[in-house]
Amino acid sequence: MLEGLMMHYPLTMDRILEHGNRLYRHKRIKTLLPNGKMHEYTYGDLYRRVKRLCNVLEGLGLQMGDRVGTFAWNNYQHMELYFGAPLAGGVVHTLNIRLFPEQLAYIINHAEDRILFVDGTLLPLVEQVADRIPHVEHFVLFNVPPGREPRLPGQVHDYEALLADASEEYTWRVQDENQALGLCYTSGTTGNPKGALYSHRSMVLHTMGECQAMALGLTESDVVLPVVPQFHAMAWGLPYAATMVGATLVMPGPHLKPEALAQLIEAERVTVAAGVPTIWNGLYHELRTRPRDISSIRALVVGGSAMPRALIEAYERDLGVNVLHAWGMTELSPLGTVSKLLSHHQDLPAPQKWDVKARQGYPIFGVEMRIVDDAGHELPWDGTTMGELQVRGPWIIRDYFKLEGSSDAFTPDGWFRTGDVVTVHEDGFMTITDRTKDLVKSGGEWISSVELEGHLMAHPDVLEAAVIAMPDEKWQERPLAVVVLAPQAREQVQVEELNAFLEPRVARWWLPDAYAFVEEIPKTSVGKFDKKVLRERLAQGELRPIRAREATR
Ligand code: AMP
């Protein structure tokens, strides 16, 4: 080994908090409280309260590596836990507040959470599982509605009372960058949910990666609104990224309705807002009926599911808002790709720019990708060949928590199988065709449900569309489009009209054989179309498909 090498400088999360406090201690973190009032404080306040919180956690007996559960909306207390739990040597384990009690209990038990921090507005949900989670010794509550008595076993504490009694002196209990920092379970559409365990190093690198100019490019002058919940893949890393660059942070608390979000964006002059397509679909329709000025937004970040091209176009054309499409997974901390126009796109006409923005984009530095066929052979990046997307990099899990060696999601040569079927253009722009399990396999050929949905949602009378496979005697599977029509169109739109709308846009044999009209597409706990539920409803005869008159193939 040569002498005179660089410093040994562990990439631990305290470095980001220290940096935020040193440089941006007067910058603000705002939270819309359950009562509609705005709570405001600074990164300096955050820093001091995290130190108190670390003392509280040690006082409650937190040992190195212990999991600390959080069950909360996006707010400043949750932000304190993002730093406090890992900097006291523990692991912040964010629990999805929209899970069924059985799943919630399973996850808390699997993670062996010892301390649970609970948003008082969500108490009823935790009380339902309280007698099934024996590892939990302490419940710590904040935002409890006045007069509400918790019905919980074990020791119950008040967050503010504990902080008030704790010292502001604390030496961070983390030295090793490979120590665990956070734990997040995937939504688990099949089988039990599985945990992705992040380390300090992986999360610090992810934060730096996310802030690259070619990624989200966050800076001090941004006002960041994470609508994506803090329990969905660490709010896509935004709380850490905002702290690193000193951006103003706006937390929506429980106020996720389109009207509240529109008001918040306008009032706070938000520049970067992040959420799933369902949220932005709702906001768009809200703004069409009750206009507000959201021109402060420079990037409407969207991921979690495919953002329909029509909605990207509508935001840009009607509202002057730039959409930044990104792809990620809980297993990737979560950011993988972003779709920002490159120099060779600049002279394209607007419609072609929207085509590019509707793709999931290029991998940011830190994420390598390749596509492979069923036999594992690498496929070309030619924009048409479909294959399974595999990734590797320093913020991608090596295995699932406590399931070492039992998952087939990892290849022998060290790549993670995403389960997404994609094409990649020569310039590295990736397009998601489907989840492997959602593809419609018609006569041995694949039909992309995502693409059909994107086209259908461009129809002016279609609010939402989800395409699933319908069993077919001749072709094994054919596409069924489940559609939510705009109220004014409910009596009028015919299936033939929808197929006529699709016909110039897709291959003829892709046209759905049938349509089912519903009031709402069921959503998963993180707001994606829940195709599992749709498939069950179809199997139980609850969907009542209407056949398109013409045989399509
Ligand atoms: P989760 O870990 O719950 O966020 O789910 C990750 C999965 O969501 C990915 O494997 C994709 O199937 C899907 N996904 C995430 N972002 C996008 C996107 N921009 N377009 C299409 N699918 C996406």
Helix orientation angle between 13-24 and 76-87, rounded to the nearest 10 degrees: 130
Pick from 338, 287, 275, 348: nearest CA to 314: 287
Among 184, 186, 301, 305, the mutation site with the greatest number of ligand 1 atoms within 8 A of its Cβ is 305
Question: Does 435 contact ligand 1 (Cβ within 6 A)?
Answer: yes
Buried (b) or exposed (e) across 237-249, using 16+ Cβ within 10 A?
bbbbbbbbbbbbb
Alpha carbon of 510 to those of 310, 399, 443, 517, 521: distances in Å? 19, 37, 11, 19, 21
Tell me, what's the pLDDT at 551? 42
Specify the DSSP element, H or E, that contains 158.
strand 155-158
For 326, other C-beta atoms within 10 Å of its C-beta total 25
Which of 257, 353, 446, 552 is labelled catalytic?
446
Question: Does 432 contact ligand 1 (Cβ within 6 A)?
Answer: yes
Report the relative pairing of strands 323-328 and 335-339 from DSSP bridges: antiparallel
* 502 CA to centre of ligand 1 in angstroms: 25
- Please tell me the distance from the alpha carbon of residue 320 to that of residue 298, in angstroms, as a whole number: 9
Locate 369 and state its tokens.
Answer: 């990708």
Alpha carbon of 421 to those of 226, 387, 430, 465, 482: distances in Å? 28, 5, 10, 20, 22
Point out the ligand 1 atom lying closest to the alpha carbon of residue 526: 3
Mind giving me the DSSP string for 443-475? TTEEE-HHHHHHHHTTSTTEEEEEEEEEEETTT
Tell me, what's the pLDDT at 188? 58
Nearest CA to ligand 1 atom 20: 306
- Please tell me the distance from the alpha carbon of residue 546 to that of residue 353, in angstroms, as a whole number: 36
- Please tell me the distance from the alpha carbon of residue 450 to that of residue 439, in angstroms, as a whole number: 9
Say what percent of the chain tops pLDDT 90: 91
Buried (b) or exposed (e) across 423-443, using 16+ Cβ within 10 A?
bbeeeebbbbbbbeebbbebe
Question: Does 337 contact ligand 1 (Cβ within 6 A)?
Answer: no
Locate 64 and state its tokens.
Answer: 């190195």
Residue 488 binned pLDDT confidence (cut-offs 50, 70, 90): confident
Domains of the chain with bracketed CATH: 8-27+40-202 (3.40.50.12780), 438-547 (3.30.300.30)
State the amino acid at position 28 in one-letter form: R
Residue 552 binned pLDDT confidence (cut-offs 50, 70, 90): very low
Question: Does 152 contact ligand 1 (Cβ within 6 A)?
Answer: no
Residue 553 binned pLDDT confidence (cut-offs 50, 70, 90): very low
Locate 221 and state its tokens.
Answer: 């002058």
Active site residue 331: yes
Active site residue 186: yes
pTM, whole model, 2 decimals? Answer: 0.93
* 358 CA to centre of ligand 1 in angstroms: 14
Mind giving me the DSSP string for 376-427? --B---SSS--EEEEEE-TTS-SS-TT-TT--TTB-TTS-EEEEEEEEE-TT
The mean pLDDT value for 27-46 works out to 98
**Beta pairing partners, 157:** 140
Nearest CA to ligand 1 atom 4: 329
Q: What is the pLDDT of residues 518-540, one digit of tens each?
A: 999 999 988 899 999 999 999 99
* 94 CA to centre of ligand 1 in angstroms: 19
Rounded to 5 degrees, what are φ and ψ at 486?
Answer: -65, 145
Residue 375 binned pLDDT confidence (cut-offs 50, 70, 90): very high
Question: Does 416 contact ligand 1 (Cβ within 6 A)?
Answer: no
